Amino acid sequence: MEEIKQKGFGYLIGSLLLIILSVILFRYLWIPILIILFIYNKKFDSDKNDKKKILLIGFIIFFISFLSFIFVPSNPIRPEKINIYIKNHYMDINSIQAIDIKVIPNRANIDDLKYISTGEDAVKINREEGKIIAKSFKEGKSELYVIDGKSNVKSNVITIKVIDKKAQAIKKKKQKSIKSLKKITYVYVSRTGSKYHSNKYCSHMRKPDKVNMKKAKAAGYTPCKKCY
């Protein structure tokens, strides 16, 4: 009888060792195991030494489970879908813009994401201080996307065009000044007359001066009724 008890207890210990291994592999399994041990301890008659051993085994299971929870890394949830968003698809040169990211499921791990920029290398995408940002370096166009390094799930592609706003402003100013120069109207005036003319041969003028109409008006000249 004593031998049967020892064998039964040996099987119990072997089973518990297998359970401990499963606890390390599958977290939170120690909760139902402790419940089973408690029921076993209450339901079946056994001497005090056996009960102490069962309680000791339960404590060992709990302790190993606790250590595994702290030190054994769990398998992170991989993203099934990745979407990135940006407010403005146009950037000034040497500027920074935040990129919003949404992953499905929400609790998916994004530590293994790779940030890719293609095209003219006008913009680079990276993660800094927990935020995903786009940095512009030169004029041009770049396509940006994100890919998970473990599952190879790829996000949507966004296109950003970089413009040197300062250079563009200078260019527009020059174009505006050129247009204004083209709009300047010149007239002809004689040194002895009081009228300005659109035709230098009007009123038999001799060697008339070509001047800006605004200056002619400012000098007191009035339009000629013949040629204006």
What is the DSSP pairing of strand 195-197 with strand 222-223?
Answer: parallel
Each residue of 96-134: pLDDT tens digit?
Answer: 999 999 999 998 988 899 999 988 789 999 988 888 999
Percent of the chain with pLDDT over 90: 33
Cα distance between residue 186 and residue 214, in whole Å: 9
pTM of the prediction?
0.49
What would the pLDDT profile of 42-73 be if each residue is shown by its tens digit? 655 556 666 666 667 667 766 766 676 666 55
Q: Write the burial class of residue 161 (CB in 10 Å: 0-12 exposed, 13-18 middle, 19+ buried).
A: middle
Whole-angstrom distance, CA of residue 46 vs CA of residue 7: 14
Residue 8 confidence (pLDDT): 53
> Which amino acid would we find at residue 117?
S
Characterize 99-119 residue by residue with b for buried, 16 or more Cβ atoms within 10 angstroms of its Cβ, and e for exposed.
Answer: bebebeeeebebeebebebee
CA distance linking residue 192 with residue 194, whole number of Å: 7
| Amino acid, single-letter form, for residue 46 | S
Interval 155-183 mean pLDDT:
82
User: Exposed (0-12), middle (13-18) or buried (19+): which is 8, by Cβ within 10 Å?
Assistant: exposed
**Alpha-carbon gap, residue 214 to 228, rounded angstroms:** 15
Domain boundary assignment for the chain: 2-71, 81-166, 184-228
Q: Which residues contact 189 (CB under 8 A, 6 or more apart)?
A: 195, 196, 197, 208, 209, 211, 216, 219, 221
> How is domain 81-166 classified at the architecture level of CATH?
Sandwich (2.60)
Residue with tokens 């109409």: 213
CA distance 12 to 25: 20
Whether pLDDT at 4 is above 50: no
